[in-house]
Amino acid sequence: MSVAGRRGPLAPVPAPSVLVRAPGKVNLSLRVGRVQDDGYHPIVTVFQAVGLFEEVRVTVAEPGAGISLAVRGPHADVVPTGEENLAWRAAALLAERTGIAADVRIEIAKGVPVGGGMAGGSADAAATLLACETLWSAGVAREDLLELAGELGSDVPFGLLGHTAVGTGRGHLLTPAMTRGELHWAFAVRDEGLSTAGVYAAFDARAGGRDDVSPDDDAGLLAALRAGDAEAVGRALHNDLEEASLDLAPHLAETVALAERAGAAGVVVSGSGPTVAALGRNRQHALALADAWAAAGVADSVHHAAGPVHGARVVTQVSRARD
């Protein structure tokens, strides 16, 4: 008897999906101007993408299903999974602008500390924009995708671009910066975040900002990056919001001081905090800085990573069901 036609059950056919990885960031410099009539502060910042990544998978859902979102990883329980999530908003915005039905399932794996001022949520939004554009074959040009990213949030365009860049305006207008070699970072993270709005309010009460912030203010930092001189980069780290952050979270001063005593090339509160970034002279030194923080108990978690790294990038793609 012929057995040629005997087969087991067919394996489930995977739905089309795209997996994208996008990085967190550290602000090497942040200069803040006086608040404007629209409520925004003009800023000049030097971003660097670092090797702590968010992974976002977007999968085609049944027609009419709409958007659904799930999050896993450290502190996933505090990440919103509804319309207030930046990744959700990214999928909805791209669908609106392209006329494509937003019937997708978004799954986020957290690798960037939550609420640490390292733009994990912005990385999710950047990754979702790229994943949906790829999944839908929407034909959106890169510059248009960056424009949409800027509508979502000031840090989202950098999640797409990655590497090292100077941000102006609200931080969303980016100019790539030349760098040489790698920088090795240690990060001290607190579970209790700082409100960005609260830090800016404290900054306004304390100083108010200048009217003339300019990329020229960071000429020394940019020269050090081009030279690959970690010691000079460390000396040039800067954050106009740091004193305001320390006013609201004075315990961060101990974290900064400990890294300085451990010989960091430079230490800075990243963005509006509460993450403290310390620059090591090399990878081993960055690991030692992280260990010093962990041993002293001055952080809820510590991380180390190198930069610069690439921006949002497609990792895997299931383009269509098998025949």
Q: What is the per-residue pLDDT for 323?
A: 35
Segment holding 226, helix H or strand E: helix 219-227
Residue 204 has φ and ψ, to the nearest 5°, of: -60, -40
What the chain holds in terms of domains, given with CATH numbers, is 17-176 (3.30.230.10), 183-307 (3.30.70.890)
Q: Which of 110, 124, 155, 218 is catalytic?
A: 155
> Catalytic annotation on 155?
yes
The dihedral built from the CA positions of residue 107, 110, 112 and 113, taken in this order, carries a sign that is: positive
Q: What is the per-residue pLDDT for 7?
A: 53
CB contact at 8 A, 92 and 161: no
> Is residue 265 classed as helix, strand or coil in its secondary structure?
coil
**Interatomic CA distance for residues 312 and 161, integer angstroms:** 7
pLDDT over 90 at 210, yes or no = no
Instruction: Retrieve residue 267's tokens.
Output: 């230490």
Ranking 33-37, 84-88, 102-106, 223-227 by mean pLDDT, the lowest is 33-37
pLDDT over 50 at 1, yes or no = no
> Is residue 46 classed as helix, strand or coil in its secondary structure?
strand
> Catalytic annotation on 25?
yes
Chain segment 255-272, per-residue pLDDT in tens: 999 999 999 999 999 888
Chain segment 124-178, per-residue pLDDT in tens: 999 999 999 999 999 999 999 999 999 999 999 999 999 999 999 888 899 999 9
Q: Which of 25, 124, 218, 240 is catalytic?
A: 25
